[in-house]
Amino acid sequence: MKRVITVTVINQSGVLNRVTGLLMRRQFNIESITVGHTEQPNISKMTLVVNIEDDVKLEQLIKQLSKQIDVLKVNDITEKSIVLRELALVKVVSPPNLRLEMNAIVEPFRPQIVDTSKNVVTYQVIGHPDKIDAFIELVRPYGIKELTRTGVTATVREVQQTFYDQTPLSLLK
């Protein structure tokens, strides 16, 4: 099962290598990894998508990651309510006579055209990886000249309070 794991780390040289090395030594296949700065100086967050078949291996991985130097926090956020996004840049063969047709077909995906030339259009698509996969399959018949994806990043959604959650019981009577 694919698991989404976030690792909060001190932003120092070698941290990424130690984390990925641990996964490699334990023979976990990293399907996606992204790393970026957080709102706190010198702190970065890694988002890993890893295929883990059983809970014992998952627990073992979380414990081993937590013991790493410079690792501050490890969370498996797979089962939580999360916002998950990826970005893809897709260069599609697009002769001028097909551009209007292509733009109409891809419009539901709301891609941005970030570059264009005589026979190629570069689309930027942002969304859930399934959305990006669907976009790629849609434009594949036209000819994909180049494709690059960032990998997944994710965050846990904030808890939404309803009126009843924030209203004292005495006011509801």
- pLDDT of 161 > 80? The answer is no
Is there a shared CATH topology between the 2-76 domain and the 83-156 domain? yes
Model pLDDT, residue 133: 97
Model pLDDT, residue 173: 42
- pLDDT of 88 > 60? The answer is yes
Model pLDDT, residue 159: 78
- pLDDT of 54 > 50? The answer is yes
What Cα–Cα distance (Å) separates residue 172 from each residue in 162, 163, 168? 13, 10, 7
- pLDDT of 171 > 60? The answer is no
Segments in the chain forming alpha helices (H): 15-25, 55-66, 99-106, 129-139, 163-166
Using pLDDT thresholds of 50, 70 and 90, give the confidence band for residue 170: very low
* SS3 (DSSP) at 119: coil
Summary mean pLDDT of the chain: 91
Could you confirm whether domain 83-156 is CATH 3.90.1150.10?
no
Q: Quick one: tokens of 73?
A: 């926090």
- pLDDT of 73 > 60? The answer is yes
> CA-CA distance, 132 to 93, in Å (whole number)?
18
Query: Average pLDDT for residues 71-82, to the nearest whole number?
Result: 94
Query: Average pLDDT for residues 17-22, to the nearest whole number?
Result: 93
- pLDDT of 172 > 80? The answer is no
CATH number for the domain formed by residue range(s) 2-76: 3.30.70.260
Domain ranges of the chain: 2-76, 83-156
- pLDDT of 169 > 70? The answer is no
Q: Give pLDDT tens digits for 91-145.
A: 999 999 999 999 999 999 999 999 999 999 999 999 999 999 999 999 999 999 9
